[in-house]
Structure 1
């Protein structure tokens, strides 16, 4: 289990230090249930790091590829004593993450480095609070070990309250931003970090059970049947201007 946690920590670390493309997927079924996933493509990092990255991710005996899947619940079960010491609010936030499953695929020869986190949902509305849940994980290993905690590494991206709403006709994604925290992140960011994130992208890709009548972002792309919309943003919008990713969709 320690190895799984280290693998998760390393995965988040390298993705925050290199040019990567992120895709936030929501697939809504006719009954309102569905699947949420966050995919991260680190092919650019693999092109630079090659086999050295494989060693960091545990590839041994000349292994050329890694394909590892594990659930957050596995980690939380092993960390139940630490979780029990958290506040009721933190424990509730952590619990929202336990159904997430993470998959890591790495193939140096194909210059492939893919990460995905996914979870089913019964209602789109229950996806609200995901950012707060990730932030709550920052103390999971204790204050002395925050630098190795994946959520702590991602904390600079979690200064928003994210909510989703869907009533069968209207869908919305809304971020309420902590302006002071966002401004501090922008001020503390190094020139190199900004250059890295400037070349990265954050994409929203949402599939609905009915055709889309209208979407608030004029740059949204539609599938042939208009049931899937895709909107691409510079990653700096996600980190420094999360409100730009707010979206309203009206279905037919």
Structure 2
């Protein structure tokens, strides 16, 4: 029962642990930031735990398909009166993310459920506090205040990566860096031990899921990459993009494993 409940929280809070952070830079320093969540495995596990599926001789109805793009600024413009009538917390959350968008792609039959939160930026300065903005955007889709309350409470919030909001991004003519300040680091080992019983088979299965989940980063530049300080990072054939990933549990224990220093080639 605990596992089903935890999976429900994962799905409702749209915080899957198969996460991809993508930043694309243009020549003038502008670009686009996107954090996408692969919810496919979560939905499959929920269906299995809840007895989903049909027998071979049963007729299966076609699954739902959905492609949605929601631009917050457009919504706020089209529904000014409704926005003003919202509870203050929701209204302030909308104001904070008015320059962002959300998109969703779902195909139940194919087991696909991808959700993304992004923003186009004019300069690297616009990415200050971007993680907090993403959390606010996610909260607008929360099904109830209870989900957010449980997610933000220790130890579950820390297990979901809530201790990495202060990441600093730097971009210059010489390179790029992603830095997690020391002030953001917390020891979560004891919290995780308190939440999950290693002798419980269902908890072991749940932890196995996270052991096979990753936080992925993709960086695309208009310049050629000379080097990075990440062992195992992949530089594309044209030298313009860098990709790397960190196991989700390793990321939770040490968010600085996602930090990177990229050096550009002299051109």
Q: Contact (CA 8 Å) 1:94, 1:134: kept in 2 or not?
A: no
Find the counterpart in structure 2 of residue 164 from structure 1. Answer: 169
Q: Distance in 2 between matches of 1:194 and 1:104?
A: 26
**How big is the shift at 1:159?**
1.7
- Correspondence for 1:240: 253
Counterpart of 1:179 in structure 2 is 185
* Number of positions where the alignment pairs a residue of Structure 1 with one of Structure 2: 229
Does the 8 Å CA contact 1:201/1:232 hold for their aligned counterparts? yes
Cα deviation, residue 85, structure 1: 6.6
TM-score normalised per structure 1: 0.73
In the alignment, which residue of structure 2 is the partner of 1:209? 222
Closer/same/farther in 2, CA of residues 36 and 12 from structure 1, 3 Å limit: farther
Q: 2:145 matched to which residue of 1?
A: 146
Q: How large is the Cα RMSD of the aligned pairs?
A: 3.8
Q: Report the Cα offset of residue 249 of structure 1.
A: 0.5
Q: Distance in 1 between matches of 2:233 and 2:168?
A: 20
Shift of 1:124: 2.0
CA distance in 2, matches of 1:151, 1:228: 37
Indicate the SS of the match to 1:203: strand
Say whether 1:39 aligns with 2:36. yes
Give the Å deviation of 1:250: 0.8
Distance 1:185 1:122 in 2: 39
Contact 1:186 1:240 in 2 (8 A): no
Partner of 1:194: 207
Q: Give the drift of 1:115.
A: 1.0
Structure 2 residue matching 1:131: 3-state secondary structure: helix
Q: Which of the numbers 244, 253, 261 marks the counterpart of 1:231?
A: 244
Q: 1:188 to 1:83 in 2, by over 3 A?
A: farther
Q: 1:22 to 1:173 in 2, by over 3 A?
A: same
- Assess, with a 3 A threshold, how the Cα gap between structure 1 residues 220 and 164 changes in structure 2: closer, same or farther: same
Contact 2:24 2:31 in 1 (8 A): yes
Q: Distance in 2 between matches of 1:167 and 1:81?
A: 43
Classify the secondary structure of the residue corresponding to 2:167. strand
Task: Name the residue aligned to 1:27.
Answer: 24
Query: Relative to structure 1, is the Cα distance of residues 36 and 85 closer, same or farther in structure 2, using a 3 angstrom cutoff?
Result: closer
Whether 1:71 and 2:75 are equivalent positions in the alignment is: no
* TM-score, normalised via structure 2 length: 0.69
In structure 1, the gaps of 5 or more residues are 1-8, 55-60
Q: Secondary structure at the match of 1:195?
A: helix
Q: Contact conserved, 1:104 with 1:115, CA < 8 A, in 2?
A: yes
